Chains A and B, each alone.
Chain A
Amino acid sequence: MTGSEALLAAALVVPLVGAALIVAAGRRPNLRDGIGIATAAVLAVVVIALVRDVLAGARPRLVLVEMLPNLSLAFSAEPLGATFALVASVLWLVTAIYAIGYMRGHHEHHQTRFYAFFAVSLSATMGVALSANVITLFTFYEALTLCTYPLVTHHGTDEAKRAGRVYFGVLLGTSIGLQLPAIAAIYVLTGGLDFAPGGILAGHVSPAAVAVLFVMFIFGIGKAALMPVHRWLPAAMVAPTPVSALLHAVAVVKAGVFAVVKVTVFVFGIDLLRSSGSSGWLIYVAGFTILAASTIALFQDNLKRRLAYSTISQLSYIVIGAAMLHPLALQGASLHIVAHAIAKITLFFAAGAILVAADKTRVSELDGIGRRMPWTMGAFAIGSLSMVGLPPTAGFVSKWFLLQGAVASGQVVVIAVLVAATLLNAAYFLPIVYAAFFRPLPDGAAQHGEAPLASVGALVLTSALTVAMFFFPELPLALARAFVAEGQ
């Protein structure tokens, strides 16, 4: 086992070990939370080291077990998976710090269970990011659904259980109902499921079959929240905010779009899709999702729901980037995985901080709150700018590449959608920032300050990252370029 293979194994195992230790230390909260942060830190270091190896050209590969003849659980690292793993692991470290402030400040119950499932979810995320074949991706995709279910229903109320059922039903229903048969069909047609540059389907299937399989994959990956399989995401907002922040803005949803991009490039292959023309519809579906979700977000008064619909809309930026089948657009998709993650997690952190400190969940209650919570709302403003896609934030970088891809491939529809989405995003984010800073506090507003230090520190950090990615986009850009070079 070489060094990078060991890192690959460690990325999967570290969170699991962490979960076991968290359970073992369940009776001593300080120790338990210390273990949580330590685990996240170790994972982040492991993944950063792995990313360095991948950028240096290493492609470690690890076969865990052969499930059936010719069907194995295997892992490998390539630039796109490394990007996703990097984002998830670094943001987990930040979330782990934030969660301590939030969970304690909000007096949540069953914290041990919460942290343990959180860690297991990260292991499943790493499994998705580092999968070497479709069946491994599918397995960990399902595992991620299963181990985030207890987090979604954490509060145990009837509302939480109903939401849990939607979450579970949509995600498992689409994956078992559409994705699994598509995987089986590909296996029967090609005799293998390993991801390979240029795809594995070329030469094995008719254009009609390519079209059908592509539809089954795209809608079978419910986590990408393409309309009409997006309902689970707003439902999942009943979860505690750290879950919404890391899992439903980063790990789970990015697992979805990551799978879409990965399957598009490494299973179907850009050339095959381009020549068979079976992915053209996706531009329209993703474009519709971007605009429709943004429009719905305009009318949401609940802050977390507004953010959820914004996520649905932003995920389709990534899908549309893949659907354009252009190198620049694919770079944009890869960059947007990073850009959206750091900005959206900032927004969720801010929403959670507002809940903990001011006990407010509605957009209409936020008048003047920027005076009480300047750091939080400042970070929120930066996150909002990134959602809109304005400099100096990360969102501008990825949108720039998406637009370049659209222009280069002559996709007028995409250009129009991106412009309209920019306006819509501005329309539902900037009024929040305006109200927070420039409207007066209502009379008799309760006295409160900022949320606990751990939470505020975390959200300031992620907003700093959002700005930093604008000025120093080298690392994500290098990964995106390497990914596109490999996918050709």
Chain B
Amino acid sequence: MITPHLPILEVVLPLVSAPICLILRSAVVAWWMAVALTWAAFAGALMLLGEVLNAGPITYALGGWAAPWGIEYRIDLLSAFVLVTVTAIGSLAILFARAPVAREIPADRVYLFYVMYLLSFTGLLGIAVTGDAFNLFVFLEITSLSAYVLISLGSDRRALTAAFRYLIMGTIGATFYIIGVGMMYMMTGTLNMADLAARLPGVLHLRTIDMALAFITVGLSLKLAVFPLHFWLPNAYTHAPSAVSVFLAATSTKIAAYALIRIIYTVFGGPAVFAPMPIDEMLLGFGMLSMIAASLVAMFQDNMKRLLAYSSISQIGYMVVGLSLGNVEGLAASIVHIFNHAMMKALLFMAVGCVFYRVGSVRLADIAGFARRMPITGAALLVGGFSLIGTPLSIGFVTKWFLLEGALEKGWWPVAAIVILSGLLALVYVWRIVEAAYFRAPAPAVEGIREAPAIMLAPLLILAAINIFFGIDGTLTGDLSIAAAQALVGTSP
């Protein structure tokens, strides 16, 4: 009885429970509600994925209004895959969040954290399920606005300026996106993605449509933090509370990547259709720039959170390069990297959060030698680091392999070389952390610390296991993303 309504329940339940938490004003209740909801959403996402695999895409007319007039939710393989990724992260991050939140956020505001967390979660799920370009904007704003608040909860006052900068840049991005959607609406008279896809070919040669795509691409690239539109990201990730860094780093840019894939492939039918405006080549160029430039900056960071933030920008480059290759392998690399990067970054930020919880600092000099006192956290950091580099048997390797395959299939050696180079740069910055963690003499602040509490270690270990398992056996995620990519590129049988 519930199953047909699963798509909407995924979104409505966290949306409704957020105000309830606000009214109850209790941190404990809010946490339990958030745990229950995120795990329920995860279970729902798995059921949806199962159903999509069995019976093909699911459509759901909101309020019973049929598609072109009402808002349509449409869940295909890509949506379901992203939904599972986001809910998995959401449900693990909430377990992790309780201890650090209680310490880093003033007690009277803790329940607000959970309210905003649930709202942000709602927005992410909404983006994944919606089949309506305007509705996507609404959810994008829900998740972004609550993210600004989450970041500003950081104990450091610099969190406020970071949140403010993110607010400005994020709003510009959202505005660009809605301008583009408005132009498409002007030319086609519809906001439904499937409808847009059907009607756009008739007006593709018009300059308005070129402009629409340009606005949307730039807007989403801002949210995605593609170099050089990344300026909001490092400060936001660095100064946010630990739990927020985990959640945002693993989800917000990933959902923007999803939105970009959705618009470019589902609505416009692939990046190659714009012969006069080579959007694929531009994305490819900026993607490669992100991979290299951000890695170079990351190499010189002394703050682990900032280092990981720049590494995120570099990893976002992998997704952008993948989707701009325009072939199945490249797009599959982007899609699988949504999952892979979410898992590895959540793992890394959680490990850093554990260190911060015990040591009280995230600077490399202050945390030197912590791994001897916190062996589990240290090992988890190592696993995440190997994933970033993309060594075999880690999930990063799966992405790298697909990406190399996609680039070499087109005979684009330079792209393959950039992918390899970026992995080597990752090796350098990851090894700086590993050396500090394992091979330096312990810093004073590290003396006498203990391993992080079990409730933080549990999600950390689950993520580490995911990082290893899907690295050794990448067939499940690999097959799913290839199938999703085939459906989008239009080569599915």
Chain A interface residues (CB < 8 Å from chain B): 65-69, 71, 73, 135, 138-139, 142-143, 146, 153, 156, 161, 164-165, 168, 172-173, 176-177, 180-181, 184-185, 187-188
Tell me the minimal C-beta distance from A113 to chain B in angstroms: 11
Q: Please, how many angstroms separate the alpha-carbon atoms of A185 and B419 in the complex?
A: 13
The interface stretch among B186-194, B403-411, B450-458 is B403-411
Q: Which residues of B contact A67 (CB under 8 A)?
A: 392-393, 397-398, 471-475
**CB of B391 within 8 Å of the partner chain:** yes
Bound Cα distance A164, B435 (Å): 10
Interface residues on B, range: 20 to 34
Q: Which residues of chain B from 395 to 431 have any CB-CB distance to chain A below 8 Å in the complex?
A: 397-398, 400-401, 404-405, 408-409, 416-417, 420-421, 423-424, 427, 431
Q: A374 to chain B: closest CB distance in Å?
A: 41
Q: Distance (Å) between the CB of A219 and the closest chain B CB? A: 14
Residues of A contacting B389 with CB < 8 Å?
Answer: 176
Do A188 and B475 contact each other (CB < 8 Å), given the known contacts A68-B398, A138-B392, A181-B416?
A: no
Given A142-B392, A173-B424, A176-B423, is A156 in contact with B473 using a C-beta cutoff of 8 Å?
Answer: no
CA distance A168 to B435 in the complex (A): 12
A178, closest chain B residue (CB): B420
Secondary structure at chain A's binding surface: helix, strand, loop or mixed? helix
B478 within 8 A of A: yes
Does B439 belong to the interface (CB within 8 Å)?
yes
A–B Cβ pairs within 8 angstroms, 28 of them: A66-B475, A67-B392, A67-B393, A67-B398, A67-B473, A68-B475, A69-B478, A139-B392, A139-B393, A142-B391, A142-B392, A146-B391, A156-B439, A164-B439, A172-B424, A173-B427, A176-B391, A176-B424, A176-B427, A177-B420, A177-B421, A180-B404, A184-B405, A185-B408, A187-B405, A188-B404, A188-B405, A188-B408
CA distance A135 to B472 in the complex (A): 12
Report, nearest first, the 8 A-B pairs whose CB atoms are least far apart: A184-B404, A139-B392, A188-B408, A68-B474, A68-B478, A181-B420, A65-B473, A67-B474
A168 touches B431 (CB 8 A): yes
Q: For residue B428, which residue of chain A has the nearest CB?
A: A169
CB of A153 within 8 A of CB of B475, answer no
> Could you tell me the distance in whole angstroms from the C-beta of A461 to the nearest C-beta in chain B?
35
Residue from A73, A161, A184 with most neighbouring chain B CB atoms (10 Å): A184
- Check B479 for interface membership: any CB of A closer than 8 A: yes
Report the Cα distance A173→B397, complex, angstroms.
16
Closest chain A residue, CB of each to CB of B479: A69
Report whether over half of chain B's contact residues are helix, strand or loop; otherwise say mixed: helix
Please report which residues of chain B, range 447-470, place their CB below 8 angstroms from some CB of chain A when the two chains form the complex: none
The answer to whether A184 touches B416, judged by C-beta atoms less than 8 angstroms apart, is yes
Q: Could you tell me the distance between the alpha carbons of A475 and B473 in the complex, rounded to whole angstroms?
A: 38
C-alpha gap A457/B163 in the complex (Å): 69
- In the assembled complex, which residues on chain A have CB atoms less than 8 Å from the CB atom of B423? 176
**CB nearest neighbor in B for A136:** B392
- Residues of B within 8 Å of A173, CB to CB, are 424, 427
A71 to B397, CA, bound (A): 12
> Would you call A68 and B404 a contact (CB within 8 A)?
no
B residues within 8 A CB of A73?
A: 472
**Contact of B475 with A69 in the complex, beta carbons under 8 Å:** yes
Does B404 contact A181, Cβ atoms closer than 8 Å? yes
**A65 neighbours in B (Cβ, 8 Å):** 472-473
A67-B473, A153-B439, A185-B408 given; name 11 further pairs at CB < 8 Å.
A65-B473, A67-B392, A67-B471, A69-B482, A73-B472, A142-B391, A172-B424, A176-B420, A181-B416, A184-B408, A184-B416
